[in-house]
Structure 1
Amino acid sequence: MGKIGIFGSSFDPITNVHLWTASTVAHRCKLDRVIFLPCSSQRSDKQMHISDEHRWNLIHLAINGNDKFVVNDFEMKQHAWDIATYLTMEHFKEKYPDDEVYFIMGADLLVDIAEGKWKKSKELVQENKFIVMARNGIDILAAIAKSPILRNSDDGQTFHLIDKGLAMEISSTYIRDEFQQGGEPRYLLPESCYEYITTNHLYQ
């Protein structure tokens, strides 16, 4: 039995922090594979700044050479109204029935689930396992204790809590802004991605 982590994000663009986070989680949680899952551009709560094709190409460039990293377009191909993390996890559990599948998320998203902001929040928590990364200002254990949804599913295996040990929060927004304003974000993302973005005049 293997261990797989599902790592969803806009990846607009993918950054070195995305890669460092995935690598840290894979190492500490003994994952055999991390699946990078770019979100759908049709989501009403997200505004993409480049095409799906460019996001897809950038992720491929970024993870090239790491055998544990793969990219999957399951959510990218979904209509916005069909997307729910619960359904995404059902898909991957069916795809990998002999493996343990975890959803990788930040503590801020766990708080959103606790407040019932995600579709089928209760079922999502009851039927899945999560790797939760610490965020500054969020007490993960307190968040679990305060939420009936979370605390009644906290069997010691549902939530794997980790602190990356270094507050390196370089956002995709920061990188986009730097490109747009003529800044120099070169070493905040893989060199191959930097070259792709500049060659294709993205985020200008």
Structure 2
Amino acid sequence: MKVGLLGGTFDPIHLGHSQMAKQLLAQTELDEIWFLPNKIPPHKAQPQASFAHRYNMVKLACTEHSAFKVCSIENELPSPSYTLHTLKALRTQYPLIKFSFIIGMDSAQSLPTWHHWRSIFDYCDIIACARPGWSADELSDDLHPLRANRRLAIVAINEADVASNTIRSAIKQGTIANQALNPSVIRYINQHRLYIGG
């Protein structure tokens, strides 16, 4: 089985995440996409919602597609949530699955700065999501050989104009982005009064 791993804080998960995952399922040979909520991301501001809340919201959002799953493995590992450590643990638990790690083109550009980044390819391939019209000139020189060897795939997707920080700001101001969130996620946020303070 071929599984795409989509990591993120998902604070909260929104329709932009699920739309991207659906496009990847349509354009690649992936059988499933597993959403991996970060416990403590090393390169981003820390999430406002707890891991448990973010995991529960992702689990609710995953019900919209049979090929979507949520994986809690980063909550079981030491912090911070380095990709390499996550991939090693997944390989141990699922030795027969072929994993591909899904990132945005901005993350692909910074990949050579990641923790032991070359070792990541011992455990998975990389799928980088690019906007339509992306040029190979934007790719770091370190990554061209990996693309030539098909360890790094570039997939053009149409990005939704939505961001988790914008959603959090709207909730704090007393509104909620109905067009950007799964209805079950909206209900969960309202039930637990997430993102209201702070």
- Which TM-score applies when normalising by structure 2? 0.88
**How far apart in 2 are the matches of 1:168 and 1:84?**
27
- Equivalence for 2:154: 161
- Equivalence for 2:118: 122
- Equivalence for 2:34: 35
- Equivalence for 1:8: 7
| Structure 2 residue corresponding to 1:95, chosen from 84, 93, 96 | 93
- Partners of 2:31 and 2:67 within 8 A in 1: yes
Paired residue secondary structure (2:30): coil
Q: May I ask how many residue pairs the two structures share in their alignment?
A: 196
Cα deviation, residue 126, structure 1: 6.0
- Partners of 1:132 and 1:162 within 8 A in 2: yes
- Equivalence for 1:147: 141
Identity within the alignment, %: 25
Paired residue secondary structure (2:75): coil
1:32–1:43 CA distance, 2 compared to 1 (3 A):
same
**How far apart in 1 are the matches of 2:163 and 2:132?**
15
- Equivalence for 1:198: 190
1:128–1:53 CA distance, 2 compared to 1 (3 A):
closer
Cα deviation, residue 52, structure 1: 1.5
1:184–1:40 CA distance, 2 compared to 1 (3 A):
closer
Cα deviation, residue 168, structure 1: 1.4
1:49–1:124 CA distance, 2 compared to 1 (3 A):
same
Cα deviation, residue 7, structure 1: 0.5
**How far apart in 2 are the matches of 1:47 and 1:192?**
24
1:183 is aligned to 2:178: no
Paired residue secondary structure (2:57): helix
- Partners of 1:40 and 1:79 within 8 A in 2: no
- List gaps (5 residues or longer) in structure 2: none
Cα deviation, residue 93, structure 1: 2.8
| Counterpart AA for 1:118 | W
- Partners of 2:84 and 2:120 within 8 A in 1: yes
RMSD after superposition: 2.2
